[in-house]
Amino acid sequence: MQARRAARELAFILFSQFDKTITNYSKENLDDIILKSVRILSSSASDDLKVSLGALIDMKNKIDDYEAEHEINLKRPLEAANIPVPMPLTSDMTGRIDEMINVAEKALLALEIAEFTTLDSQNDVKDYAIKIAQSYQKNHSEIDSMIKKYSTGWDFDRLVKMDKDILRIAISELLYVKEAPMKVVVDEALELAKKYSTDDSSSFINGVLAKIIVEQGVA
């Protein structure tokens, strides 16, 4: 995982934990929230991997039972070891595998972010996440006004908070941090939406960012 991508994921988690006016947070507050975020990520990843492991064990047991109860093995002597049997690939099994892959990918991502953030050589991850947060702190009125302006047909107060936070991060990067290419910022915002928000979030976020990029002349 690239450091900047980890920083955006961390910034998203950071924004999700704000429980008071953004300007009330000091640099020390942000550092503390990031530390707690990393702990939450590590704990969540551990829980997810345990769930995935449990599902794998359950699937292994079902396969063993299927093999043992197959007519080929039922006809064999009791003392004889079971022999492998053909097994149809059912939609139920592929669905379970997809779920476990999804859980494992999220857990690995969480562990990568935690590792990036805690290594001394990767302090730029934490620093960049805080830079995004501080840019939003300084310009929150303007950023939220842009979101309201370009969220045509949407009530700002009723927007999904995750969507607002993803937009806040992306707009902060595009207009104030200005350290990453426009395409990278937009693409990563859409990736965050796909991972954490609703099915319609990607197209909504893409539309808002496209209008801001044109209006603000972002290159």
| Structural domain of 34 | 3-216
**pLDDT tens per residue, range 7-28:** 888 888 888 877 667 778 888 8
Instruction: For residue 59, give the nearest of 24, 20, 28, 101 by alpha carbon.
Output: 101
Q: Which amino acid is at 131?
A: K
pLDDT reading at 219 higher than 80: no
pTM for this predicted structure: 0.69
Instruction: For residue 138, give the nearest of 7, 23, 8 by alpha carbon.
Output: 23
| pLDDT category of residue 177 using cuts at 50, 70 and 90 | very high
Number of domains making up the chain: 1
Average pLDDT (173-177) is 95
Greatest C-alpha distance within the chain = 78
Read off the CATH number of the domain in which 59 is found. Answer: 1.10.940.10
DSSP label at 219?
-
The conformational region for residue 85 under phi > 0 = left, psi -120 to 50 = alpha, else beta, is: beta
Residue 155 sits at φ, ψ, to 5 deg, of -85, 120
**pLDDT tens per residue, range 105-144:** 777 666 766 666 655 445 778 888 899 999 999 999 999 9
pLDDT score of 90: 64
**pLDDT tens per residue, range 69-111:** 888 888 888 888 888 888 766 666 777 777 777 777 777 666 7
